[in-house]
Structure 1
Amino acid sequence: MKTLTLLLALLSLNALAALPGDSLYQLNDQWQNRHGKTLKLQDMAGKKQLFAFIYTDCATACPIIVSELKRIQQALTPEQQQRIGFVLVSLTPGTDTPKVMAHFARQRELDEHWTLLSGNEHQVRTLAMALNIKYMGLANGEIAHSNAITALDEQGRILFQQSGLPDGPEGVIAKMVL
């Protein structure tokens, strides 16, 4: 059993070593997805990803962010959808449990191309800082946050970051060179 554990640890280190130094996937934290499964960011390597930060009980900016990402997904061909993932990271990990995230995904009709992540406060802050996403809690319980969509390449490097869809979903798709 110790040999297997050591082998898995070495494989994990090799996978990290194979990633470029500027890869977001170098962050080695463990997250939970909406199914309660533990995963690392590096598990998303191999296809392009669109990241956004939200919280599930937001009534202002977050629904717009999700709608914009859904517009992008709807503009993709089925072949293109196989080469891109959509990642929503919770800004309120204390309340956005896997069960809450799963309910949110069902309500918004988010399919298997979507990964909803919840971690702890430190993980969220670290990832937000790596992506230059700013956020802070307000006295009324709301979260003020950047409304950026961040596109990553297959190895977790930032391709671009933008707010909104000034050129429509097709503009994002063209920038991602799918």
Structure 2
Amino acid sequence: MKKDIAAGIGIVVFGIILLFFTTNGFTAFTMEQQRVQDLQAQPPEFPDVEVVDQTGESYNFREFENKHVLMTFIYTSCAAACPEMSTNMKHVYELTEGKYFEDDLVFLSISFDTKRDTVEVLGRYAEYFNADAESWKMLRVPDDKELEKLLSVYGVTVIPEGDADYQHNTSFYILNPEGRLIEVLDYKDPETAAEILEKYLREQEEK
């Protein structure tokens, strides 16, 4: 009987040890959580990538240094997650104090369907969501290799489905002014996203 108890305890202890190491110290219980942790552990980086906004203006992604960034990856012909994600991003925008958009914050919606999402298409999409070209930018990356680089930096997977659809990550990404990815948030909970974003903005303001 004692041997059975000892054996049982040994199995439990072994299981706990195994769980500790396979979940990065009990902190990553899913592949997605581990992916996010790996992204957040990367050195800060604003990728050296040329982007074009909904007005046709071209500049380097590094222009967003020294600001917090709330970012999503979309394609405008998406009929499922992207419209909801953009609608909820607009809700976060409306919940965020306007003063932060002057110097401390910018919203980015980045299209990975550059064949269809021309400047004109992004302009219409921006109008639909009342996104101006200063505080909320709709971006495309004209160069395919630079687009791949940008997606890779933020761990975004894009898988074509047929001629016009894609499977892709759907989240709110928050970058700090140094370029470090500090949060990957559920796009279906804009109220929480707004609270977390404002927390970082207030902390930056107090420094």
TM bracket, shorter-chain basis: 0.7 to 0.9
1:140–1:37 distance in 2 versus 1, CA, 3 Å: closer
Equivalent residue, structure 2, for 1:66: 86
Instruction: Count residues with an aligned counterpart.
Output: 157
- Aligned-partner Cα distance in 1 for 2:199–2:171: 15
Q: Residue 57 of structure 1 is aligned with which of 65, 72, 77?
A: 77
- Aligned-partner Cα distance in 2 for 1:166–1:66: 10
Once superposed, what is the RMSD of the aligned Cα atoms? 1.9
- Aligned-partner Cα distance in 1 for 2:152–2:199: 23
Identity %: 19
Contact 1:53-1:90 within 8 A present in 2 as well? yes
> How far 1:168 moved relative to its partner?
2.8
* Aligned residue type for 1:72: V
* Aligned residue type for 1:159: I
Equivalent residue, structure 2, for 1:103: 124
- Aligned-partner Cα distance in 2 for 1:174–1:78: 11
- Aligned-partner Cα distance in 2 for 1:90–1:135: 11
Gaps of 5+ in 2: 1-41, 203-207
Bigger Rg over Cα: 2
Equivalent residue, structure 2, for 1:38: 58
Gaps of 5+ in 1: 1-20
Equivalent residue, structure 1, for 2:3: none
Equivalent residue, structure 2, for 1:172: 196
Equivalent residue, structure 2, for 1:131: 154
Q: Residue 139 of structure 2 is aligned with which of 111, 117, 123?
A: 117
Contact 2:173-2:185 within 8 A present in 1 as well? yes
1:55–1:33 distance in 2 versus 1, CA, 3 Å: same
Normalised by the length of structure 2, the TM-score is: 0.69
- Aligned-partner Cα distance in 1 for 2:93–2:170: 18
- Aligned-partner Cα distance in 2 for 1:102–1:58: 16
Contact 1:72-1:172 within 8 A present in 2 as well? no
Listed one character per residue, the Cα deviations across residues 139-167 of structure 1 (whole Å, up to 9, x for unaligned) are: 25211110011101112111111222276
Listed one character per residue, the Cα deviations across residues 27-60 of structure 1 (whole Å, up to 9, x for unaligned) are: 2221111111111111111211111100111111
- Aligned-partner Cα distance in 2 for 1:23–1:169: 21
- Aligned-partner Cα distance in 2 for 1:167–1:29: 31
Contact 2:107-2:135 within 8 A present in 1 as well? yes
* Aligned residue type for 1:32: V
- Aligned-partner Cα distance in 1 for 2:158–2:199: 26
Moved over 3 A (4+): none
- Aligned-partner Cα distance in 1 for 2:163–2:68: 36
- Aligned-partner Cα distance in 2 for 1:59–1:157: 31
SS at match of 2:73: strand
Listed one character per residue, the Cα deviations across residues 55-82 of structure 1 (whole Å, up to 9, x for unaligned) are: 1111111111111211111111222333
